Amino acid sequence: MANLPPENKQLIERLRDPATCRAAFGEVIKTYTEPLYWQIRRMVQSHEDANDLLQNTFLKAWSSIENFRGEARLSTWLYKIAINESITFLDRERKRLNISLDDQEAALANTIEADPYFDGDKLQMKLRKAIASLPEKQRIVFNMKYFDDMKYDDMSAILGTSVGALKASYHLAVKKIGQFFSDED
């Protein structure tokens, strides 16, 4: 996780101490807000939804901080919460709008075009659309590997999937994105 600092053992100890937990959690929020926001944003595309899901992620983490035993890295635990929140949100939206997974992928691509917060060029827009067209699992794996340069072992801990399956998903995602670019030209 290139954008994340190394695990801070003192921070984790302060999270476990009721006297210092609140201040330590403030540090967690300060440290992880940006990387978690972008992970969520790349999944749901909408700035407003990403902000809401980021808040939900921190609320869930805070409400279950006493359950964090330190067996997994703090960043792994937070990513897992953020990704689960995002998947739950996308599933709920798909059911609310009564659309299929394929239609949801098309809707995500349309959301990119309508995003007032997007400030990239046409090539970046095309890449975002290509990523949005991927099946959910491939999209998650691609985002974690390509944008966060996350190690497969870390992804495996977060997603509960074998390293081999993650490598296969990433490889397929790259091929599909390449094909998307070829088809668009």
**CA-CA distance, 144 to 155, in Å (whole number)?**
7
Check if CATH label 1.10.10.10 holds for domain 9-184. no
Query: What is the token pair recorded at 1?
Result: 């996780």
Residue 99, classified by CB atoms within 10 Å of its CB into exposed (0-12), middle (13-18) or buried (19+), is: middle
Q: How far apart are CA 58 and CA 56, in angstroms?
A: 5
Tokens 């959690």 map to which residue?
25
Which stretch of 22-31, 57-66, 107-116, 123-132 has the lowest confidence by average pLDDT? 107-116
State residue 115's pLDDT score. 57
Mean pLDDT of 56-67: 94
- What residue segments make up the domains of the chain, in order of their start? 9-184
pLDDT above 50 (res 4) = no
CA distance 157 to 23: 27
CB atoms within 10 A of CB 178: 11
Q: pTM of the predicted model, to two decimals?
A: 0.79
Q: Is residue 20 over pLDDT 80?
A: yes
Q: Please, are residues 25 and 62 in contact by the beta-carbon 8 Å criterion?
A: yes
Residue with tokens 């801070």: 8
What is the band of 33 on the pLDDT scale with cuts at 50, 70, 90?
very high
Q: pLDDT tens digits, residue range 81-103?
A: 999 999 999 889 888 877 665 55
Nearest-CA neighbor of 50 among 22, 103, 86? 86
Residues 6+ positions from 98 with CB-CB distance below 8 Å:
none
Amino acid at 162: S
